[in-house]
Amino acid sequence: MIAKKNLLRRLEPLHQLIWNRTAVLPAALCLAGSLLVLPNAWAGEPARDLASLASSQLAVLEPSPHLLGLVRPASIRLTPERKEPAVEIDLEHIQDLDSIIDDARKQAQVEYLAEKLRKSPQAVKQYVHLAWAEASRRDGFSPELLIAIMYRESTFQPKVQSRYGAQGLMQVVRRWHREKLRASESLFDPVVNVRVGADILEEYLEAAEGDLTKALAKYSGSSRGYAKRVLSESRRLAQIADTAAADVVLTSWPLDEPSVGFPG
Q: Residues with Cβ < 8 Å from 115, sequence gap 6 or more?
A: none
Give me the pLDDT at residue 139, please. 87
Strand, coil or helix: what is 144? helix
Q: Is the CB of residue 240 less than 8 Å from the CB of residue 97? A: no
Q: With CA atoms as reference, report the closest residue to 158 among 134, 122, 113, 194.
A: 194
Strand, coil or helix: what is 27? helix
Give me the pLDDT at residue 262, please. 42
Give me the pLDDT at residue 38, please. 42
Residue 65: asked if its preceding bond is cis (omega within 30°), the reply is no
Domains of the chain, first to last: 4-89 (no CATH), 102-248 (1.10.530.10)
Residue 258 sits at φ, ψ, to 5 deg, of -65, 145
Q: Is the CB of residue 218 less than 8 Å from the CB of residue 86? A: no
Q: Is the CB of residue 85 less than 8 Å from the CB of residue 35? A: no
Give me the pLDDT at residue 54, please. 41
Give me the pLDDT at residue 250, please. 85
Give me the pLDDT at residue 249, please. 85
- CA of residue 93 relative to chain centroid, distance: 18
Residues of the chain with pLDDT under 70: 1-95, 253-264
Helices (H), 137-257: 143-154, 190-207, 212-219, 226-252
Counted residue by residue, the chain has a size of 264
pTM of the model: 0.66
Looking at residue 46, the DSSP 8-state letter turns out to be -
CB crowding 49-66: b at 16 or more within 10 Å, else e: ebbebbeebbeebeebeb
**Chain segment 97-114, per-residue pLDDT in tens:** 788 999 999 999 999 999
Q: Is the CB of residue 202 less than 8 Å from the CB of residue 141? A: yes
